[in-house]
């Protein structure tokens, strides 16, 4: 029997599309397939779900399997046209005999995109094989999956991605639906149904609300300083930071109108500052007026303000609008008055807060490239200042680029705004500046010169110009190295979440959601893409296997059953609680600050249960109470083993676009957006 | 221990032997439990009003036979606990499509008839062939019964009890005689000689079923015809409720089956306790909480007679139906995970039926009467439901033709159907084999909707659909990455037949600018009709040879 003719051209068909039975020749099929993917990431009519906006950054979850290989191949083809910036993210779960080959395939087949590899072992302290050993017989796939999603989330945040693209295909979605139905997982059924409709909107704000908790997390970077911070935190400054941080952001937005800038750095920095600040107190008072004035003024005023305070003057200019030149000047000036100089700004915040001030000031510069300014705060830093100043030109150039965007938002306005607030609040006030981020980042960009302190920082291009917010590195020496979260490219919404709100989860999109598995395999075959198809050693125990078996049988009975299941899943009307709203409001996980529907996110619950040596508990309903009850939300309990100290930083593997592979140590992984500029490697 | 009462009550006797040995006392407990469940289900739902006429759909299988027995027992109880509705029984003879010979059909009919006569209820014997004579109105929801909204259930019950008392005082016989043996009343001819429908009708029915391409669609079709027949009987005879005997097991199977059929939006209606999509007649499923196993035990203990109907005949190369697949799967999984079926059932319980009620006719599925579930769906997701009609392509756009010509095309039906029904409909035979009432109703709907439809088509033809748009863009930019192995001209890229009703103009004739290389490949491939895979490989090799990469 001769093959039927291609529906679109006179050639003999090479396949019948499983979804609709259309005969297509090989070439038409590939064009069609690509067009469909393109349609699904560019708001084709009727398209749903998050779609990466042009100019945004997409983290592609790459496992090395067929789906993600095809996905990354296609996205890389379309990225220039859609003005997307891509990075691959792989997670090494630590499954012997399974992941190694796949990771190798990802490294080889990654095309031009940089790759970031995280591992469960480094991130959470447990590889899946170890979890399996601890669990005995039982579903380790739950652990693996939950942790993997968390890892992806953190990686995406680290990279400053606006969107995570995963390779889920129509078969996966149908399989998940069947599995959830067989298990009676109503919550997930409901969520899937709503994702089919309108996905969750990304909250404008990101930062986790709980200052105290966060601060320990982040502070880790700054070893010596941290201790100081912590001691202070009890002082009460912690609360304020939250509020203050919010306010500044808002103020900055309102005044400047640029939402972008204030990303996120958590308060910890501020807390650390506190000790510093005490000295500053006198200064503060003077500053306050200054700051307040600044707030309204916005960036432009800064120069003006600076004059007001002898101390501050140098800084202020740096803060915002002044530009490289001013910054340089200020930087120069700073060294002299530096100890005092930082204080003024901060001082305004609080007597208490004074400690922060240095930080803030540092931030200010950071945002605008003022770094030199900040350094002055500490006698320690003063030495830096010169370096900074030297850097300034460079930075200024950068800053000039960044300035238009950021500077408005630049920390200084924020800080200023805070100050008044803080003052009212009282001693507490200082704790967080969103801006704080990182001196470090600043330094790193500046370069080698600063770096002596941070070996790490130099390596990391953390500071990456555009994405600035990450406090990623801890510069041990520079405890205070405040970090400032530089504003990201305009496309990225600013990220400070309101108090009590979680970091907004990075939206996920599934560009292949309508592609059948068979078509993906065919496409990979036609394009000669190399992928790994290994079965995970633990998969045999997963309940998902039953759902998969059913799906395969259904597909054999009627090929259209797969898309039909997808349709059913999107159309399910799950009643019960929150019938209309459907989305339970997400809170911030008390440990990690990421979105959680309960007190702790599931990843932290699992981790906690593992540390406690009772991993099975986490799978049950009592897991949360168990984990929260004992160690408390903050405590890191006496881990049986494997407790990851977040302060220690996490080692990640970075493969740059050029193919250079490095292992980097990143601190505060995922806390701030865009801390790691992987594209400059 | 026997814990039939569920709260530590029961008779306390050893349970295991009870089930196996049919000891008198123990099986009493089981009976109590069983009966209580049935009555509780009806009682708490409060939708069967006293004195209401209820049609029991009995197939002769275990579940519906058990249901029949339950009703029988309920009506024969002492007054306080008596069921208060007026039951009748309907049996649909599907022997024709189940591959029974005439003699077999006669025999099973007679068997069924004696069984029904024994119950003493009025009964109707209906043949599936009669579905071909249904009126088109069966596809429209009837007017909602006036009695329900007016009176509350409690009032109705009290009023009924009052009436009963008065009647009882006046004339004792007539009060109890309602459900009495009135077999002679059977409207379907004299019980002595059940007549089979004319052979011509049977042939037509067989033709309808034989034209169906898959077993899945056959089952769906049979189910639809059956419910329509029952519905018609209920309407013409004035019944407002229909009871079907779907067990928990069956409901679980149906839930997953319907999921796979794409009917996710209607799961609650399709499997819930009450199904009122038809308006005037409500379908009730009182056995939903019984496992198939319980039913089997009940039938076994209490000698409930059943009649086994053969399954739909299958050919060897037929793929199994989706329902078979799901059923086998669930039964297997149930062995490893004994709570599987009840879990699926309970998951189904949590689905709500809101928004399945269509607000107007144009939003109602032609076949299942549910609200169309296609609004806001992505284009790619709808692709599997569309029919590419070759005949349609040859005509110059349906919009300019009189709709009468287009109405008999299969693709013309698609806009009238919901997602799941579209998939099933695609697998049905040509339109001419469809039951007349479906065709008549479709004609009416197509005519009435026609102007609107035309507008839609015009709008749609303006902007090509997303995927195709992007695709054309791709082609236009010449970025179809690897150089096309065969120079494919513009014409080949024109979207064809994506929307069944949107074809503004004739597709441009294929303009092929076939390059030399391409031509040689075409000839080569046409000459050698090897399996596709070989061709592909060959092309690949050739391309490599030419330094191209596909």
Q: CB-CB: which of A1, A2, A46 is closest to B376?
A: A46
Q: CB-CB: which of A45, A550, A573 is closest to B265?
A: A573
Residue A424 near chain B (CB below 8 Å): no
Q: CB-CB: which of B343, B423, B510 is closest to A560?
A: B423
pLDDT of residue A41: 82
Q: What is the pLDDT of residues A36-56, one digit of tens each?
A: 888 888 765 555 667 788 888
pLDDT of residue B228: 94
> Residue B250's pLDDT band (boundaries 50, 70, 90)?
very high
pLDDT > 90: what percent of chain B?
28
pLDDT of residue B165: 72
Q: What angle, 0 to 180 degrees and rounded to 10, lies between the N-to-C axes of helices A211-218 and A223-232?
A: 160
pLDDT of residue B146: 53
Q: What is the pLDDT of residues A141-183, one digit of tens each?
A: 888 888 898 889 888 888 888 889 999 999 999 999 999 999 8
Contacts of B493 in chain A (CB under 8 A): 8
pLDDT of residue B542: 65
| In contact, A24 and A8? CB cutoff 8 Å | yes
CA dihedral (B392, B395, B396, B398) positive or negative: negative
Task: Tell me which residue has tokens 């490599």.
Answer: B544
Residue A541 near chain B (CB below 8 Å): no
- Report CA-CA distances (Å) from A678 to A118, A121, A166, A394: 13, 21, 19, 20
Strands (E), A41-176: 57-61, 85-92, 115-119, 163-165
Tokens of A193: 């149904």
In angstroms, rounded to a whole number, what is the distance separating the alpha carbons of residues B198 and B215? Answer: 26
Which of A149-158, A606-615, B385-394 has the highest average model confidence (pLDDT)?
A: A149-158
Contacts of B347 in chain A (CB under 8 A): 181, 184-186, 189
| In contact, A343 and A439? CB cutoff 8 Å | no
> Which position has the higher pLDDT, A610 or A429?
A610
pLDDT of residue A242: 37
> Which position has the higher pLDDT, B3 or A588?
A588
In angstroms, rounded to a whole number, what is the distance separating the alpha carbons of residues A9 and B494? Answer: 10
* Residues 15-54 in A contacting B (C-alpha not used; CB under 8 Å): 15, 19-20, 22, 26-28, 30-32, 34-36, 38-40, 42, 44-48
pLDDT of residue A667: 66
Residue B390 near chain A (CB below 8 Å): no
Q: What is the pLDDT of residues B452-501, one digit of tens each?
A: 544 444 344 333 344 444 555 555 544 444 333 333 333 333 333 333 34
Quote the mean pLDDT of chain B. Answer: 74
Closest-CA distance, A548 to chain B, in angstroms, reads 11
Q: What is the pLDDT of residues B78-117, one digit of tens each?
A: 666 778 889 999 999 998 899 888 899 999 999 999 999 9
Whether the pLDDT of residue B517 is over 60: the answer is no
CB B529 to CB A2 under 8 A? yes
CB A563 to CB B373 under 8 A? no
Tell me the average pLDDT across B506-522: 45
List all residues 6 or more positions away from A404 whose beta carbon is below 8 Å from its beta carbon: none
* Residues 200-219 in B contacting A (C-alpha not used; CB under 8 Å): 214, 216
- The Cα diameter of chain B in Å comes to 103
pLDDT of residue B510: 42
In angstroms, rounded to a whole number, what is the distance separating the alpha carbons of residues A463 and A262? Answer: 15
Q: CB-CB: which of A31, A44, A557 is closest to B474?
A: A31
Q: What are phi and psi of B241, to 5 degrees?
A: -135, 145
Quote the mean pLDDT of chain A. Answer: 61
Q: Burial-class residue B339 by CB neighbours within 10 Å (0-12, 13-18, 19+).
A: exposed
Q: What is the pLDDT of residues B344-357, one digit of tens each?
A: 999 998 888 777 77
Residue A565 near chain B (CB below 8 Å): yes
> Which position has the higher pLDDT, A390 or B231?
B231
Q: How many cross-chain Cβ pairs, A to B, lie less than 8 Å apart?
A: 235
CA dihedral (B471, B472, B476, B478) positive or negative: positive
Whether the pLDDT of residue A553 is over 90: the answer is yes
Tell me the average pLDDT across A229-244: 35
Most A-contacting residue of B265, B383, B470, B529 (CB-CB within 10 A), to test interface: B470
CB A184 to CB B346 under 8 A? yes
Residue B502 near chain A (CB below 8 Å): no
CB B319 to CB A558 under 8 A? yes
Whether the pLDDT of residue A444 is over 50: the answer is no
Q: CB-CB: which of A9, A177, A571 is closest to B492?
A: A9
pLDDT of residue B235: 92
> Residue A499's pLDDT band (boundaries 50, 70, 90)?
low
| Distance between first and last Cα of chain B | 72
Q: CB-CB: which of A44, A553, A556 is closest to B329?
A: A553
| In contact, A251 and A414? CB cutoff 8 Å | yes
| In contact, A334 and A345? CB cutoff 8 Å | no
Tell me the average pLDDT across B263-275: 90
| In contact, A104 and A653? CB cutoff 8 Å | no
Task: Tell me which residue has tokens 């309960």.
Answer: A598
| In contact, B190 and B280? CB cutoff 8 Å | no
What global pTM score does this model have?
0.67
Q: Which chain B residue's Cα is nearest to A184?
A: B347
pLDDT of residue A526: 93
Whether the pLDDT of residue A425 is over 80: the answer is no
Whether the pLDDT of residue A535 is over 70: the answer is yes
Whether the pLDDT of residue A489 is over 80: the answer is no
Q: Which residues pair with B241 in a beta bridge?
A: B54, B282
pLDDT of residue B481: 41
- Report CA-CA distances (Å) from A401 to A394, A407, A465: 11, 10, 9
> Residue B532's pLDDT band (boundaries 50, 70, 90)?
low
∠ CA B210-B427-B399, nearest 5°, is: 120
Closest-CA distance, B260 to chain A, in angstroms, reads 5
Q: CB-CB: which of A40, A514, A575 is closest to B350?
A: A575
In angstroms, rounded to a whole number, what is the distance separating the alpha carbons of residues A556 and A550? Answer: 10
Contacts of B263 in chain A (CB under 8 A): 568
Tell me the average pLDDT across B141-169: 69
pLDDT of residue B538: 62
In angstroms, rounded to a whole number, what is the distance separating the alpha carbons of residues B394 and B400? Answer: 13
Contacts of B467 in chain A (CB under 8 A): 32, 35-36, 39, 44
In angstroms, rounded to a whole number, what is the distance separating the alpha carbons of residues A611 and A638? Answer: 8
Whether the pLDDT of residue B75 is over 70: the answer is yes
In angstroms, rounded to a whole number, what is the distance separating the alpha carbons of residues A192 and A175? Answer: 12
In angstroms, rounded to a whole number, what is the distance separating the alpha carbons of residues A274 and A347? Answer: 10
């Amino acid at each position: 029997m001769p093959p039927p003719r291609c529906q679109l051209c006179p050639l003999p068909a090479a396949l019948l599309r499983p979804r609709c039975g259309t005969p297509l020749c090989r070439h038409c099929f590939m064009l069609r397939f690509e067009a469909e993917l393109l349609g699904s990431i560019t708001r084709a009519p009727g398209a749903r779900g998050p779609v990466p906006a042009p100019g945004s950054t997409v983290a592609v979850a790459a496992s090395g399997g067929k789906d993600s290989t095809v996905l990354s191949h296609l996205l890389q083809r379309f990225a220039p046209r859609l003005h997307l910036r891509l990075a691959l993210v792989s997670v090494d779960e630590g499954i012997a005999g399974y992941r190694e080959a796949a990771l190798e395939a990802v490294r080889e087949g990654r095309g031009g995109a940089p790759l970031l590899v995280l591992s469960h072992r480094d991130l959470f302290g447990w590889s899946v094989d170890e979890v399996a050993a601890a669990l005995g017989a039982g579903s380790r796939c739950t652990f693996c999956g939950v942790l993997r999603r968390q890892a992806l989330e953190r990686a995406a945040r680290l990279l400053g991605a606006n969107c995570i693209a995963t390779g889920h295909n129509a078969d996966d979605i149908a399989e998940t639906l069947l599995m959830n139905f067989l298990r009676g997982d109503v919550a997930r059924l409901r969520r899937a149904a709503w994702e089919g409709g309108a996905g969750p909107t990304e909250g404008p704000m990101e930062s986790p609300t709980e200052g105290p908790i966060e601060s320990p997390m982040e502070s880790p970077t700054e070893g010596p300083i941290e201790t100081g911070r912590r001691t202070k935190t009890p002082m009460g400054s912690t609360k304020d930071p939250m509020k203050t941080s919010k306010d500044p952001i808002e103020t900055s937005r309102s005044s400047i109108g640029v939402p972008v800038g204030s990303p996120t750095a958590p308060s910890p920095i501020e807390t650390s500052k506190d000790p510093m600040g005490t000295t500053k107190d006198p200064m503060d008072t003077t500053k306050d007026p200054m700051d307040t004035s600044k707030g309204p003024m916005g960036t432009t005023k800064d120069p003006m303000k600076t004059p007001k305070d002898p101390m501050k003057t140098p800084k202020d200019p740096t803060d915002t609008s002044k530009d490289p030149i001013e910054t340089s000047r200020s930087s120069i000036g700073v060294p002299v008055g530096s100890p005092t100089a930082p204080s003024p700004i901060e001082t305004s915040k609080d007597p208490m807060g004074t400690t922060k001030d240095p930080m803030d000031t540092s931030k200010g510069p950071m945002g605008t490239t003022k770094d030199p300014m900040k350094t002055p705060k500490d006698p320690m830093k003063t030495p830096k200042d010169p370096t900074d100043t030297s850097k300034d030109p460079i930075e200024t150039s950068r800053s000039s680029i960044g300035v238009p965007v950021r500077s408005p938002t630049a920390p200084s306005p924020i800080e200023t705004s805070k100050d008044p607030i803080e003052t009212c609040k009282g001693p507490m006030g200082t704790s967080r500046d969103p801006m704080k981020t990182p001196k470090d980042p600043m330094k790193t960009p500046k370069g080698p010169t600063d770096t002596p302190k941070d070996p790490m920082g130099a390596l990391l291009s953390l500071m990456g110009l555009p994405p600035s917010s990450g406090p990623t590195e801890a510069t041990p020496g520079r405890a205070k190295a405040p970090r400032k979260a530089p504003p990201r490219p305009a496309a990225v919404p600013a990220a400070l979440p309101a108090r009590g709100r979680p970091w907004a989860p990075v939206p996920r999109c599934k560009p292949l959601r309508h592609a059948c598995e068979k078509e993906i395999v065919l496409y990979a075959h036609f394009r000669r893409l190399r992928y790994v198809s290994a079965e995970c050693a633990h998969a045999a125990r997963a309940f998902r296997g039953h759902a998969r078996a059913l799906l395969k049988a259904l597909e054999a009975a009627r090929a259209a059953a797969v898309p039909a299941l997808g349709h059913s899943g999107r159309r399910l009307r799950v009643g019960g609680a929150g019938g209309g709203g459907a989305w339970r409001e997400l809170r911030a996980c008390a440990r990690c600050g990421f979105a959680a529907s309960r007190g702790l996110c599931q990843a932290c619950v699992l981790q906690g249960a593992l540390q406690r040596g009772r991993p099975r508990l986490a799978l049950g309903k009592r897991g949360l109470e168990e984990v929260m009850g004992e160690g408390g939300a903050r405590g890191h309990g006496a881990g049986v083993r494997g407790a990851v100290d977040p302060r220690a930083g996490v080692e990640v593997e970075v493969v740059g676009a050029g193919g250079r592979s490095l292992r980097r140590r990143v601190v505060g992984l995922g806390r701030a957006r865009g801390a790691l500029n992987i594209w400059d490697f | 221990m026997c814990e039939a009462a569920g709260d530590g009550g029961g008779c306390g006797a050893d349970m295991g032997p009870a089930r196996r040995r049919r000891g008198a006392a123990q099986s009493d407990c089981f009976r109590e439990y069983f009966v209580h469940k049935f009555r509780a289900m009806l009682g708490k739902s409060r939708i069967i009003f006293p004195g209401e006429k209820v049609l029991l759909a009995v197939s002769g299988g275990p579940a519906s036979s058990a249901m029949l027995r339950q009703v029988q027992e309920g009506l024969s109880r002492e007054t306080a606990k008596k069921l208060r509705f007026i039951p009748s029984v309907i049996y649909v003879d599907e022997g024709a499509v189940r591959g029974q010979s005439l003699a077999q059909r006669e025999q099973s009919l007679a068997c069924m008839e004696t069984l029904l006569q024994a119950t003493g209820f009025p009964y109707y014997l209906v043949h599936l062939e009669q579905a071909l004579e249904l009126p088109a109105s069966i596809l429209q929801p009837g007017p909602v019964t006036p009695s329900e909204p007016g009176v509350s259930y409690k009032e109705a019950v009290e009023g009924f009890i009052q009436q009963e008392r008065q009647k009882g005082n006046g004339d004792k016989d007539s009060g109890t005689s309602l459900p009495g043996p009135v077999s002679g009343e059977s409207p379907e001819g004299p019980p002595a000689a059940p007549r089979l429908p004319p052979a011509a009708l049977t042939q037509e029915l067989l033709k309808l079923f034989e034209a169906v391409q898959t077993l899945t669609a056959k089952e769906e079709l049979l189910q639809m015809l059956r419910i329509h027949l029952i519905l018609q009987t209920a309407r013409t005879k004035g019944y407002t409720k229909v009871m079907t005997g779907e067990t928990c097991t069956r409901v679980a199977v149906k839930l997953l089956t319907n999921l796979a059929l794409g009917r996710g939006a209607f799961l609650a209606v399709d499997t819930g306790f009450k199904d009122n999509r038809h308006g005037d007649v409500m379908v009730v499923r009182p056995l939903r909480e019984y496992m198939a196993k319980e039913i089997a035990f009940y039938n076994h203990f209490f000698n409930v007679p059943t009649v086994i109907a053969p399954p739909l005949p299958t050919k060897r190369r037929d793929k199994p139906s989706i329902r078979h697949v799901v059923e086998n799967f669930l039964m297997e999984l149930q062995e490893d995970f004994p709570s599987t079926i009840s879990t699926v059932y309970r998951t189904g319980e949590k689905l709500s039926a809101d928004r399945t009620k269509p607000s107007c006719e144009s939003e109602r599925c032609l076949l299942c009467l549910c609200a169309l579930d296609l609004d806001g769906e992505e284009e790619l997701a709808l692709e599997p439901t569309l029919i590419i009609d070759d005949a349609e392509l040859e005509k110059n756009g349906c919009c300019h033709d009189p709709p009468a010509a287009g109405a008999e095309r299969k693709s013309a039906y698609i806009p009238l159907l919901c997602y799941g029904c579209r998939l099933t409909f695609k697998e049905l035979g040509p339109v001419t084999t469809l039951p007349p009432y479906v065709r008549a109703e479709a004609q009416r709907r197509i005519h009435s909707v026609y102007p609107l439809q035309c507008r839609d088509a015009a709008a749609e033809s303006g902007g090509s659909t997303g995927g195709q748009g992007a695709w054309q863009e791709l082609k236009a930019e010449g970025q179809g990455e690897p150089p096309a192995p065969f120079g494919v001209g513009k014409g080949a890229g024109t979207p064809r037949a994506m929307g069944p009703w949107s074809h503004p103009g004739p597709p441009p004739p294929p303009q092929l600018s076939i390059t030399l290389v391409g031509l040689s490949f075409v000839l080569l491939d046409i000459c050698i009709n090897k399996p596709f895979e070989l061709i592909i490989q060959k092309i690949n090799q050739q391309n490599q040879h030419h330094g191209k990469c596909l």
